[in-house]
A and B are shown apart, each in its own frame.
Chain A
Amino acid sequence: MTPRTEALRRLSLDTPPSISAERALLLTRFYRDHDGRLSVPVMRARAFLHLCENRRIHVGEGELIVGERGPAPKAVPTFPELTCHSVEDLRILNSREKTSYRVDPDVILAYERDVIPYWRGRSLRDRIFEALPPEWHTCYEAGLFTEFMEQRAPGHTVLDDKIYRRGLLDFKADIAAAVEALDPLHDGEAWDRREQLRAMDIACDAVLLFAARHAERAEALAEAEPEPARRSELKTIASVCRRVPAQAPRDLQEALQSYWFCHLAVITELNGWDAFNPGRLDQHLLPFYERGLMEGTLTRERAKEILECFFIKFNNHPAPPKVGVTAAESGTYTDFANINLGGLRTDGTDGSNEVSHLLLEIIDEMHLLQPSSNVQVSGKTPDALLKHALRVVRKGYGFPSLFNADAVVAEQLRQGKTLEDARAGGCSGCVEVGAFGKEAYILTGYFNLPKVLELALHNGLDPRSGRRLGPATGEPGTLKNFDAVFGAFETQMRHVLDVKIAGNQVIQRMYARLMPAPFLSVLIDDCIRSGRDYNAGGARYNNTYIQGVGIGTLTDSFAAIRGAVFEEGRVSLEELVSALDGDFDGHEPLRLRLVNRMPKYGNDDDRADALMQRAFEAFFSSVDGRPSARGGRYRIQMLPTTCHVYFGSVTGATPDGRRATRPVSEGISPVQGADRRGPTAVLRSAAKMDHLRTGGTLLNMKFAPSLLDGDAGIDALAHLVRGYFKMDGHHVQFNVVRAETLREAQARPEEHRDLIVRVAGYSDYFCDLSVALQDEIIARTEHDGLSGSTPLAAPVVAAKPSLA
């Protein structure tokens, strides 16, 4: 880092996140004055224009890349048209211990006086909840699933290379041509398309105005700047903002500034999940980097400094906090922008380059919470890049995560994408696969697999509330063999999925009709060509995902039911269910037997792993291929973010010996502590799932740093990754910390504020996590290499293998 970027980084780290009411107030006033006069897309675009015209412009000291989401770094705008925070929400955000946001009294006042009175009942969240049927609410409240779009807009969106080749003026020409080509005589939807295209055009103007205002601000600052070097920088910033994003960028600074304006526009227009994401930054930037070096206008050091300035911008933007019951829970500041490195080029050749390494250096040196980063590893990826990434991983920041680029391509081909679009795609959010710049891949929410088994074991009733959530599939005493239990599970699962999908169809239509995203639609092919919004199926590809959570807990529960009830016959199913209902109270020997003596997923034990495959197959076949309201298909992913903690909290004791309310397993990782045969066994178990039929799976592994010492440690880790990917594994990420370190951080958080751990699909500050999640991360098995000396029963966690 240079002194400049050190200072900017420090400022970003030290500035506490706060809530800004600026956007909410501007938007509320505009809606009050204009609602009902304009078509919905044009209304959205005009509101966006109003924001870009009136927002405060921030050009910070020393910055080379400019623009903030709010009026200042770490000041987070709100989106009352989607979800309107209550005064209580705001007070909790201000006072809660973890991931708090400062909320000044004038913000609360503005909410009380202007924002809440207008948006209560009008915000999309209120309308969605009003529109959804009672059975949806019942299942939702029981914790059988979550719904992403009750909090934020459809997102998980990544840009391709188009803004590096063309400017907004070019896109405006495309829009004009599309309007020209409309045929109202033969196209009954021509008016809808015209309004949508008009909205896109207005949205482009809004962003051009936003950039021009930054240019003006930089010019004004330059005028007043006494120091010549900074004055010259400000003048350059002004000329960059005059050039991009109106026209194609010509150098590295213009390229990054152009992306950044597009990024800010997307996350100002709406609050889509995972913010926005530049995707394959190394490939996009390479031409600018090479040209700069060749022409002598850029050095490697200067390129690094500009990129560092760019990275800090991401970190300045904590995720807007949720509303409602979740406000009291600890959330995360991470907004999940996830930069892709390496992978393939569209022609199928290796995509890694010098900029990939440059970015890894920055990721290592800055270790910021945001942006997140990953390396796409294909069979063609050089070991040099993989090992460089692993040397960063070894530092224990939890990033970059590692993806199998060849699997990512294969997964997309199965969905019917072209080979070129699949190769230009990658992963965003946590592990989600998409065709960058060409797809609306929408996540709809997590699905609590262990809770579905709980329904099956209680004849469709939720034992916590006694409410009926699913069909009557038989009391435990009537389920006479394992297949009958599994059949009941499948019936319950299909029912709950029907409820979830029926609700989600409503939500998707409401977004399509009421909450279009005209600027995002400019950036994603083929919304302009089709004259349809991103939220209405205008993208080239439209997949809708449900995220399965707790496959480890589910698998081990099935294995325990089969083993203890139907094979050993030590306990009847009725007795087992009764023990579960009492949270194993008075049944500790039974619980221990279930924990210790039954086959467990994660040990390369086919007795358990075959049940994982069977459960996966049931989930997959119940979801994959169903038509969605946006014209695409429903698909599955296997990832939890932090939802395995919430799902565990609403699920009673499970047959694998897990106690009530404890977290369920996360991602496709084994149940915490259940894997006892080392990392290769975990990877083998996980690879028995058919990853290629998903849109992403998440595997988390934790290593003690001693295992990764020296070149040999990096080599061994690289071999594990390559081996897993050879078996078509989708993704793996590593936490490299000692349990002692984590316990110490838990006890003395003030000394470990900078401790970043991999949580699920992202990294977070350990001390910001809930105690439950902290405990869970500590409990994850520490894998260690064992040599010569053999473990007896419990894995001997030898700090370092030695005597042979």
Chain B
Amino acid sequence: MSGLTSGRVFNVQRYSLHDGPGIRTTVFLKGCPARCLWCHNPESQSFGPEVVRVDSRCIECGTCQEVCPHGAPDPGSGVCTACGACIEACPAGAREMVGRETTVDEVMAEVLRDRVFFQESGGGVTFSGGEPLAQLRFLRALLEAARGHDLHTAVDTCGFGPREEILGLVPLVDLFLFDLKLADDARHREFTGLPTEPILENLQALSRAHRSLWIRVPIIPGHTDGEADLAALAEIVAGLSGVRRVSLLPYHRTGVDKARRLGRPSSLQSLAPPSPERMEALAVVFRERGLQVSLGA
């Protein structure tokens, strides 16, 4: 029954090396309550399917124009219903559908393909997003199925969701990857659209209930990389139990390119990624408080 439970997935990425231990397959669930300005997976935000276009592949043959029922094949046209006609017709493979309704069984069949590599490496499956908690029933069924196959499981979350439900997942999850951006509520709201309080409370509750958490902090120049802000986060994290490591993730520009493929303006103009020296300096803020820090993963 639960194998037939379905939800929206926008990608299954094999050979992920940074979303938990070992070689992993990361399943990206579509849809997110947050709207982070720097989002590097903008195609993950909306819950519905979307068409993307890769300009570098486009041969400008005009086929998409011919087949589009609205005569407007630009993904950002505003009239796109994601019918997929242009994708099917495009000879160059320059168009793809992002997001489809998928069953647990289908996802697991794909995940299990790399089982031999999970076993060799101590890896497993990571559910990411979007925000996986936003499809709670589906996530729960996926985790149960993964447990049934004895896979190591990880959930990558921004921590925004109903607390009891999150805590209910604890027995099914070997590792939580918990994303923290800012402790300051006003700027958190401004940059992500979400308040900090429920997120930090969920983090506290989760750290009491679960023994294995990785905290992930995106370092966005001019937004989250203030030393006082990071010190505030470090204080919070240092007070938790169960935190195995803190990862500082430098901003990179793929989100800008992806937004373009969706025909959307990027909400954040391209920034210069922080230098390795800068990242090292910021790591000290956490290391000073006895936390184990990794950069870039």
CA of A596 to CA of B291 in the docked complex: distance in angstroms? 47
Is the C-beta of A305 less than 8 angstroms from some C-beta in chain B? Answer: no
Kindly identify which residue among A798, A802, A804 contacts B179, using a CB–CB cutoff of 8 Å: A804
Count CB-based A-B contacts (< 8 Å).
151
- The interface bits of chain B over 1-28 (1 if a CB of A lies within 8 angstroms of the residue's CB, else 0) are 0000000001101111111001100101
Is the C-beta of A614 less than 8 angstroms from some C-beta in chain B? Answer: no
Contact A719 B117 (CB under 8 A): yes
Kindly identify which residue among A593, A727, A801 contacts B18, using a CB–CB cutoff of 8 Å: A801
Is the C-beta of B297 less than 8 angstroms from some C-beta in chain A? Answer: yes
Contacts A589-B91, A793-B96: A678 and B14 contacting too (C-beta < 8 A)?
yes
Kindly identify which residue among A596, A681, A715, A803 contacts B91, using a CB–CB cutoff of 8 Å: A596
Contact A592 B93 (CB under 8 A): yes
Is the C-beta of B263 less than 8 angstroms from some C-beta in chain A? Answer: no
Contact A804 B216 (CB under 8 A): yes
Stretch at the interface among A41-49, A338-346, A750-758, A783-791: A783-791
CA of A787 to CA of B23 in the docked complex: distance in angstroms? 11
Is the C-beta of A217 less than 8 angstroms from some C-beta in chain B? Answer: no
Contacts A786-B13, A793-B94: A726 and B41 contacting too (C-beta < 8 A)?
no
- The interface bits of chain B over 29-57 (1 if a CB of A lies within 8 angstroms of the residue's CB, else 0) are 00000000010110110000000101011
CB of A235, distance to nearest CB on chain B (Å) = 53
Contacts A592-B93, A788-B19, A790-B41: A801 and B297 contacting too (C-beta < 8 A)?
yes
Residues 178-222 (chain A) with a chain B CB within 8 angstroms: none
The residue of chain B having its C-beta at the shortest distance from the C-beta of A785 within the complex is B17
CA of A592 to CA of B40 in the docked complex: distance in angstroms? 29
- Residues from chain B with a CB closer than 8 A to the CB of A681 are 14-15, 113
Kindly identify which residue among A590, A595, A680 contacts B117, using a CB–CB cutoff of 8 Å: A680
- Residues from chain B with a CB closer than 8 A to the CB of A597 are 91, 93
The residue of chain A having its C-beta at the shortest distance from the C-beta of B121 within the complex is A719
- Residues from chain B with a CB closer than 8 A to the CB of A786 are 13, 15-16
Contact B121 A716 (CB under 8 A): yes
Contact A785 B128 (CB under 8 A): no
- Residues from chain B with a CB closer than 8 A to the CB of A794 are 54, 56-57
Stretch at the interface among B198-206, B235-243, B248-256: B248-256
Kindly identify which residue among B14, B38, B44, B93 contacts A596, using a CB–CB cutoff of 8 Å: B93
Is the C-beta of A604 less than 8 angstroms from some C-beta in chain B? Answer: yes
- The interface bits of chain B over 100-136 (1 if a CB of A lies within 8 angstroms of the residue's CB, else 0) are 0000000000000110110111010000100000000
Contact A789 B40 (CB under 8 A): yes
CA of A783 to CA of B258 in the docked complex: distance in angstroms? 20
Contact B56 A788 (CB under 8 A): no
Q: How large is the interface on A (under 10, 10 to 19, 20 to 34, 35 or more residues)?
A: 35 or more
CB of B223, distance to nearest CB on chain A (Å) = 12
Contacts A592-B59, A723-B120, A790-B10: A802 and B17 contacting too (C-beta < 8 A)?
no
CA of A794 to CA of B57 in the docked complex: distance in angstroms? 8
- Residues from chain A with a CB closer than 8 A to the CB of B52 are 792-793
- Residues from chain A with a CB closer than 8 A to the CB of B252 are 789, 798, 802-803
Contacts A678-B14, A788-B128, A803-B251: A722 and B93 contacting too (C-beta < 8 A)?
no
Contacts A681-B14, A719-B117: A589 and B94 contacting too (C-beta < 8 A)?
no
CB of A781, distance to nearest CB on chain B (Å) = 13
The residue of chain A having its C-beta at the shortest distance from the C-beta of B294 within the complex is A712
Contact B22 A789 (CB under 8 A): no
Contact B17 A720 (CB under 8 A): no
- Residues from chain A with a CB closer than 8 A to the CB of B16 are 785-787
The residue of chain B having its C-beta at the shortest distance from the C-beta of A726 within the complex is B116
CA of A590 to CA of B63 in the docked complex: distance in angstroms? 12
- Residues from chain A with a CB closer than 8 A to the CB of B59 are 588-589, 592
CB of B230, distance to nearest CB on chain A (Å) = 16
- Residues from chain A with a CB closer than 8 A to the CB of B15 are 678-681, 783, 785-786
- Residues from chain B with a CB closer than 8 A to the CB of A588 are 59, 91
- The interface bits of chain A over 259-296 (1 if a CB of B lies within 8 angstroms of the residue's CB, else 0) are 00000000000000000000000000000000000000
CA of A581 to CA of B249 in the docked complex: distance in angstroms? 52
Contact A592 B92 (CB under 8 A): yes
Is the C-beta of B218 less than 8 angstroms from some C-beta in chain A? Answer: yes
The residue of chain B having its C-beta at the shortest distance from the C-beta of A716 within the complex is B17
Contact A788 B54 (CB under 8 A): no
Contact B93 A793 (CB under 8 A): yes
CB of A43, distance to nearest CB on chain B (Å) = 56
Is the C-beta of A771 less than 8 angstroms from some C-beta in chain B? Answer: no
CA of A798 to CA of B91 in the docked complex: distance in angstroms? 26
Is the C-beta of B196 less than 8 angstroms from some C-beta in chain A? Answer: no
CA of A223 to CA of B254 in the docked complex: distance in angstroms? 72
CA of A118 to CA of B235 in the docked complex: distance in angstroms? 90
Kindly identify which residue among B57, B128, B177, B179 contacts A793, using a CB–CB cutoff of 8 Å: B57
Q: List 7 A-B contacts (CB under 8 A).
A: A597-B93, A604-B113, A712-B17, A722-B120, A785-B18, A792-B258, A802-B250
- Taking A593-B91, A680-B114, A803-B218 as known contacts, 12 extra A-B pairs with beta carbons closer than 8 A to each other, sorted by chain A number, are A592-B92, A596-B91, A680-B117, A684-B114, A726-B120, A785-B15, A786-B13, A788-B128, A792-B52, A792-B96, A801-B17, A802-B297
Chain B residues with CB under 8 Å of chain A are 10-11, 13-19, 22-23, 26, 28, 38, 40-41, 43-44, 52, 54, 56-57, 59, 61, 63, 91-96, 98, 113-114, 116-117, 119-121, 123, 128, 156, 177, 179, 216, 218, 247, 249-252, 254-255, 257-258, 261, 273, 296-297
Closest 3 CB pairs of A and B: A596-B93, A787-B18, A719-B121
